[in-house]
Structure 1
């Protein structure tokens, strides 16, 4: 955590639960105002620390031991959370305890003694190119808003964007004549992502037909590209529901999600011969280690590379 001026935290007499809630609020304010974390990161910390408060109950935080915190880990596992989710909860716990140590609430930090949970690296779901083609053509005239939904599907697959990035994409970031869009990713980082012919055509169709209807229903002119029927931002939850509906229609896996489109985008690029660094840039990954998971997915490409370049293949 970056250095900061110490806030005076008054340890008065309120109940342990109330005092913990106050410390959590101060910690979130610190992450928001001094660490300048993105809104989505703050939301994640808020959810994780709320679960920590649920487990704590009336326990006094300064009295917790390493054994107590290990019991918290066991409690999270009993909740049937995914390993990645548990790891995120433990990271939030460590940030919170480090904050309390900086504030002088804690003399020693038992959270630092917790071992980092070893995560099983999951191979992401990937749709075949044939299934993706069926998926983007799944919206039909009998659907409420087929042009918007087709534009959404094309946009997700054409750009490999995260669902939050597609949801927050604004009209000023869409450059159809130049055949690209400006994406605002994690940590307020921006990247240019090209748009293919399929995405361009469906976007132009949607912008000329259905979007004006949504704009007319809005109280104030909306800036987002993808809108709800009332002219509001198409929420991430709504995008999830749409993806689930259309994937089921074409017989795709029940586990598919908007992120599956991102995984498919990356894997298909690598299958076509794209360089890993180029895929990293298009996905907006800060580290190439994150992108490398797709080399495990596309084993056929690795076999071709081995056969082509190894002297004894």
Structure 2
């Protein structure tokens, strides 16, 4: 059984990947998607979204990171996948699940689930181009507006060369509205011979147990649930491994919030850094009452020194 951290564009960047993987329980993670249009990207575009490539393609905690590509041109995707491998990507993941309108309008993400033949062509071309020892995997939804073609899409991906499939158990039209249809993950696993990961609406240990029972699959990819409850993967791993688990309380989480802020201040502009912190703290309010109080204080704050003070980070001394 494997537990993966989902790629979420605009949310799970290298900073949050670093912080979340420090908590434990995550077997591997995936970059935000790298958009491939009609050209071979320069290496800098890969390093921007996947700086871990400069450090053995793993987070500081030693968790392996896969590189995810999004696009619709089989040859161009293949060429960029080869470059990603040359830069150190240990696995190439292909995105057929993004529901964003802007992405779908430019023929990327979940809209391609309308074209199983194209899915197959993309996987076949990328698999043929990438070195044989480097796995190619894919993430999909159940379909664009209906799950009726989910099995055709899954078969197209698996037969094209995907060694694993992650199935977000909703259609593009459903977005992130509950419920997730875990029973369809079971149907997908019935028709493909590769491992299938269930994804969607796992917020708690109890959700995971139900997901495993309904989907029939052991492997899980956690997204918003793990961002909102940073020890969720560790909870699941403890059950898997039969070991005792001590929940991460607010005092245990606060140093991670401070570390997140320190990295955000170092990597982002003074204008952007507070927004990134607020985004994560807002999601933590689902689990931690203390996060609600903190978010109330942070909500309208834009001064970086004041933001740091509110989370207990000393103001840097003037040079």
TM-score (norm 1): 0.25
Quick check: which has more Rg, 1 or 2?
Answer: 1
TM-score (norm 2): 0.25
Which structure features the higher share of helix residues? 1
Which structure features the higher share of strand residues? 2
